[in-house]
Amino acid sequence: MNMRKDITFRSIALFLICSGLAGSAVAEMGRTALVLGGGGARGAAHIGVLEVLERERIPVDCVVGTSMGALVAGSYAAGLSPKKMRKKLAEADWTDIFLDVADFSQLSYRKKKVSQRYLPGTELGVTHKGFQLQSGVVAGEKIKLFFNQLVDANLGERNIEQLSIPLAIVATDIGTGERVVFREGSLTQAMRASMSVPGLMAPVEYKGRKLVDGGLVDNVPIVLGRELCNADRVIAVNVGSPLREPENIGSVLSVTAQMIGTLTKQNVERSLTSLTGQDIYIYPELGTIKASEFARYDEAADAGRKAAEQQVMLLRTLSVDKNTYTAWKNKNKYAPKTEIVIDEVRIAPTNRVHQNYVARQIRQVPGTLLDRPELEQDLIRTYGDGFYQNVDYRVIRENDENVLEIIAREKEVSLDYLVFGFSIDNEYRQESNFNFRAAYRNTWINSYGGEFFASADVGGKPRVELDFYQPLDTRHHFFIEPNYLRKREDISIFVDDERIADYQLDTSYTEMVVGANLGGYGQSRLGWRDYHVKGEADLSSVVLPNVDERFGGFVYELNLDRRNRLYFPSHGWRSDISYFDSHHEGYSKLSADLGGAYKISDYVLSVRTAYTTSLKGELPIYDAVMLGGFLRMSGYASNQILGDEALYGHIRTEKIIGRMPLGLNGDLRLGFGLEAAKLETNYTLSTGDDWLDSGVIYLGGETPFGPLYLGYGFTSKGDYNMYLQLGAL
């Protein structure tokens, strides 16, 4: 036993002596500051430089970083090796990280409904002072969570002042234009602030200031590096992008990018004048790698390694022996916590949104191990509710307990806002339709989350809707919802293939329903609906009676949607079931519409089946089944097929042939589909109860304005139709 104690004592003593010798050896060489500049994705070159420093056993006394350089500098100071950095970047889904949206299947049904008709990113806040625009295209929600994971802040806050290697991170106060230097506080918050490209990513609020990318004021902070640890020399790495050629500047975005690039270039040139003969300057040749091309991180890292190799003779003058370097590494090594038990889950105070509403999404159970992947999913889903600037978390120690605190910071843009959308529907056999729509959402009127919604569509299909949604509990399990809707639609009436009349259908209803929200699955509603229907044809006939009817009835709806995307889903399913029973009119209407998608390699298989019938009586023409149009029997004109008791189905396969052109987000797909329908009672075709067939070929993809389709529909009889559609119809 005494021998073991003696061995342990000697080991500790030896370690302390070696550490002291290491510190002495490093001190004799003078102090070295590592300065890593900004440059977006090009900043992955810093990893290659660090690989060479590690191979050559070159210790540093402090690290300074800006923008992407702040990410690498912060990770390095936090104990992350270059090898592990490469691995973390390889595991990251860079397309997803910059999309601040939850999977569509995880959104609340109310959020899904708004997404179906209004464009994301068009929110315009409404306050007593006027209108407010969003502060950035990307809020940075997933980016911040990625930073937490990168430096192990997900298991407890990592503060800059607690790191073994002194670190400084540069950001810019967008209000004053001043440089802001982080030397203490949250590491991930500093990294996030330094990478906030103005206009693209929302600023970070810090001590009453709004902070953006530090590259605007000090992209390669050499002087700061020298000051931070009283350095005798600086290793400076510049990964900035060159300015665009004049012929490549035309759009507003390119002019803005050139302006930011010019400011950055000027401050870099000033900074480089402070280099001395003792310093080492590394400027990787990054060629065509753009600041936005994070998927090319490996190329950038290799370029950084190559550039450092070209300076290797100078770098080797800073090398230390193996034992000294190992001792330095061990001194700065961080041992991450592998698991942590959460004793309490706490929601930080909010302003208008009820804390229980935030808590409903968090599945972490006190007394269990922190499940980081599950928690991050919960935070993204919470963010997807649409009320927050960002949603973050931290693990803090209080009274010897681990407290998981969820921080949901409400939007700077008002929670009362306008949203917009539009649609263009052109087809060969019908008149073109253009609709512009706008809606006003007044959210969180009361502590339970009451919401007033008003919308209007103008164009070929005018529509007005007023809605008041009142949850009955703070977690929004149940609600009541009075609603008024009025819409007008001009329907072309065909007999077989001959267009004989136009029918103007003016429908309005008032309803009162009670309902239940079913989490990310959907919603169930039950209530009473009063209709007023006016139908008038430009040619009177037995088939097309003019109507002016008022009637009411019970209504039930069950809407479930688990698709991963609203448009062009690659997996998931949806189900819509509704029932209306009107005693006054003597008919009832049951509808069921089911669909799903499944991806196999570069192919997406989609199926859909829909059935509508009247359980009693016969569907009147103003409430009849309407088929025809794109992906609704595509070989026929829109609403060419009218009838009762209809069964419809299609199967489609889509080949992902690339990405949308012009930098648009989403897949570009080539699709082919087969469709069939059968009506027991057909009001407009003389084919009786025969099966109808149709096929469709189309090219489609998602744009910032909604889905875009170019299609050709056909039937076995030789009928055909052509389509161009843009936006949510």
pLDDT tens track for 515-527? 999 988 999 999 9
Q: Which position among 67, 105, 196, 414 bears the catalytic label?
A: 67
Question: 52 CB contacts (<8 Å, ≥6 apart)?
Answer: 305, 308, 309, 312, 315
Structural domain harbouring 364: 341-410
Q: Which residue has the higher pLDDT, 449 or 245?
A: 449
- Torsions phi, psi of 79, nearest 5? 100, 10
Residue 542 confidence (pLDDT) above 60: no
Residue 99 confidence (pLDDT) above 80: no
Same domain, 360 and 275: no
Model confidence band, residue 293 (pLDDT cutoffs 50, 70, 90): confident
Residue 168 confidence (pLDDT) above 50: yes
For 478-481, the CB contacts below 8 A with 24+ separation are 478/514, 478/515, 478/516, 478/517, 479/514, 479/515, 479/516, 479/517, 480/512, 480/513, 480/514, 480/515, 481/512, 481/513, 481/514, 481/515, 481/525, 481/527
Check: CB of residue 215 under 8 Å from CB of residue 239.
no
Task: Give pLDDT, residue 621.
Answer: 83
Beta strands 368-369; 341-342: pairing state: antiparallel
Q: Which residue has the higher pLDDT, 72 or 133?
A: 72
Task: Give pLDDT, residue 251.
Answer: 63
413-441: buried (b, 16+ CB within 10 Å) or exposed (e) per residue? bbbbbebebbbbbebebbeebebebbbeb
Residue 291 confidence (pLDDT) above 90: no
For the question of residue 638 being annotated catalytic, the response is no
pLDDT digits (tens, 9 = 90+) for 437-462: 999 999 999 999 999 999 999 999 99
Q: How far apart are CA 263 and CA 255, in angstroms?
A: 13
Q: Does residue 20 lie within any of the structural domains? A: no
Task: Give pLDDT, residue 11.
Answer: 41
Q: What is the CATH number of the domain that holds 173?
A: 3.40.1090.10
Q: Does residue 415 lie within any of the structural domains? A: no
Residue 672 confidence (pLDDT) above 50: yes
Task: Give pLDDT, residue 678.
Answer: 93
Same domain, 568 and 657: yes
Check: CB of residue 187 under 8 Å from CB of residue 209.
no
Residue 664 confidence (pLDDT) above 50: yes
Model confidence band, residue 636 (pLDDT cutoffs 50, 70, 90): very high
Query: Tokens for 501?
Result: 């009349």
- Please tell me whether the overall predicted TM-score, pTM, comes out greater than 0.75 for this model: yes
Model confidence band, residue 133 (pLDDT cutoffs 50, 70, 90): confident
Cross-strand bridge partners of residue 204: 211
Q: How far apart are CA 261 and CA 264, in angstroms?
A: 5
Task: Give pLDDT, residue 378.
Answer: 93
Nearest Cα residue to 360 out of 241, 473, 464: 473
Last residue of a domain, one of 384, 410, 436: 410
Q: Does residue 446 lie within any of the structural domains? A: no
Residue 92 confidence (pLDDT) above 60: yes
Residue 308, SS3 per DSSP = helix
| Angle value at C-alpha 333, between 76 and 167, nearest 5 degrees | 40
Model confidence band, residue 135 (pLDDT cutoffs 50, 70, 90): low
Q: What is the CATH number of the domain that holds 345?
A: 3.10.20.310
Q: At what angle do helices 187-194 and 141-150 cross, to 10 degrees?
A: 130
* Lowest mean per-residue pLDDT among 6-10, 39-43, 256-260, 562-566: 6-10
Same domain, 360 and 317: no
Task: Give pLDDT, residue 242.
Answer: 78
Dihedral angle, C-alpha 280, 284, 290, 291, nearest 10 °: -20
Residue 411 confidence (pLDDT) above 50: yes
Same domain, 319 and 356: no
Q: Does residue 453 lie within any of the structural domains? A: no
Same domain, 310 and 373: no
Last residue of a domain, one of 410, 437, 469: 410
The separation between the first and the last C-alpha atoms of the chain, rounded to the nearest angstrom, is 81
Cross-strand bridge partners of residue 578: 557, 591
* Lowest mean per-residue pLDDT among 85-89, 582-586, 684-688: 684-688
Same domain, 170 and 259: yes
Same domain, 379 and 322: no
Task: Give pLDDT, residue 389.
Answer: 85
Check: CB of residue 10 under 8 Å from CB of residue 17.
no
Same domain, 328 and 345: no
Same domain, 505 and 649: yes
Q: At what angle do helices 82-91 and 45-55 cross, to 10 degrees?
A: 150
Q: Does residue 570 lie within any of the structural domains? A: yes
Same domain, 549 and 658: yes
646-679: buried (b, 16+ CB within 10 Å) or exposed (e) per residue? bbbbbebebebeeebeeeeebbbbebebebbbbb
* Lowest mean per-residue pLDDT among 248-262, 361-375, 418-432, 663-677: 248-262
Nearest Cα residue to 211 out of 186, 193, 190, 188: 193
Same domain, 367 and 310: no
Q: What is the CATH number of the domain that holds 641?
A: 2.40.160.50
Split into its structural domains, the chain has a count of 3
Task: Give pLDDT, residue 22.
Answer: 45
Model confidence band, residue 8 (pLDDT cutoffs 50, 70, 90): very low
Task: Give pLDDT, residue 704.
Answer: 80
* Lowest mean per-residue pLDDT among 307-311, 403-407, 535-539: 535-539
Task: Give pLDDT, residue 5.
Answer: 40
Same domain, 304 and 393: no
Q: How far apart are CA 639 and CA 701, in angstroms?
A: 25
Residue 12 confidence (pLDDT) above 60: no
* Percent over 70 (pLDDT), the chain: 90
Model confidence band, residue 137 (pLDDT cutoffs 50, 70, 90): low
How confident is the prediction for the chain on average, in pLDDT?
87
Task: Give pLDDT, residue 538.
Answer: 75
Model confidence band, residue 337 (pLDDT cutoffs 50, 70, 90): low
Q: Which position among 100, 213, 218, 378 bears the catalytic label?
A: 213
Q: How far is CA 65 from the centre of its chain?
A: 27
Q: Strand (E) positions, 569-629? A: 571-582, 587-600, 603-613, 625-627
Residue 665 confidence (pLDDT) above 80: no
Nearest Cα residue to 579 out of 528, 510, 509: 528
Task: Give pLDDT, residue 712.
Answer: 98
Q: Does residue 420 lie within any of the structural domains? A: no
pLDDT digits (tens, 9 = 90+) for 49-69: 999 999 999 999 999 999 999
User: DSSP H helical segments within 474-543, as ranges?
Assistant: none
Q: Which residue has the higher pLDDT, 143 or 254?
A: 143
For the question of residue 570 being annotated catalytic, the response is no
Residue 307 confidence (pLDDT) above 90: yes
What DSSP element (H or E) covers 477? Answer: none
Report the sign of the C-alpha dihedral through residues 333, 334, 335, 338, in that order.
negative
Task: Give pLDDT, residue 4.
Answer: 38
Last residue of a domain, one of 389, 410, 431: 410
pLDDT digits (tens, 9 = 90+) for 465-516: 999 999 999 999 999 999 999 999 988 877 777 777 788 899 999 999 999 9
Q: Does residue 279 lie within any of the structural domains? A: yes
Q: How far apart are CA 720 and CA 718, in angstroms?
A: 6
Q: Does residue 443 lie within any of the structural domains? A: no
Count other C-beta atoms under 10 Å from residue 551's C-beta: 17
Residue 249 confidence (pLDDT) above 50: yes
Average confidence (pLDDT) over 402-425: 89
Average confidence (pLDDT) over 151-176: 87
Q: How far is CA 442 from the centre of its chain?
A: 23
Residue 333 confidence (pLDDT) above 60: yes
